[in-house]
Amino acid sequence: MGTTNQGFYPIFLRTRGTAGRMPSLWDLNLRFSYDVFKAQEVVRPRLTLDLFHVLNQHQAILVDERRYLSDDGAGNQTDPNPNYLKPILYQPAFSARLGAIVDF
């Protein structure tokens, strides 16, 4: 995909869907909570542990699809992109959050 000299409109060099697909992605997030006081109190504190992106596959979720970076005055594609089909963005890394919730 490149750009024309008329603005930022893409030109598709291949028929859509014929250049391959990104791999399927999946994500798993978990929440664990613990009630500190089991009785019916006015204040009910609760501890929580959130786990984000468990079993992360570290897959690329976005690649650079621009085959050429510019064109000449006649609209011919020039200046091949050295980052063509290289990853731009990956799945988020595993992270955890510990928190406290107080209901009253």
- DSSP assignment of the chain, as one string? -EE-TTSS-EE-SS-TT-S--PPP-----EEEEEES--S--SSEEEEEEEEESTT----EEEE---SEEEE-TTS-EEEE-TTTT-EEEEPPPPEEEEEEEEE-
CA distance 34 to 98: 11
> Against a cut of 0.75, is the pTM above it?
no
User: How do residues 80-89 score in pLDDT, each as one tens digit?
Assistant: 889 988 999 9
Written as one letter, the residue type at 1 is M
| 46 and 37 Cβ atoms separated by less than 8 Å | no
User: Cα–Cα distance between 7 and 75 in angstroms, integer?
Assistant: 12
- pLDDT tens-digit map of 8-58: 656 667 776 677 777 788 889 999 999 887 767 788 889 999 999 998 888
Q: For the segment 59-79, what is each residue's pLDDT rounded down to a tens digit?
A: 888 888 888 888 777 778 888
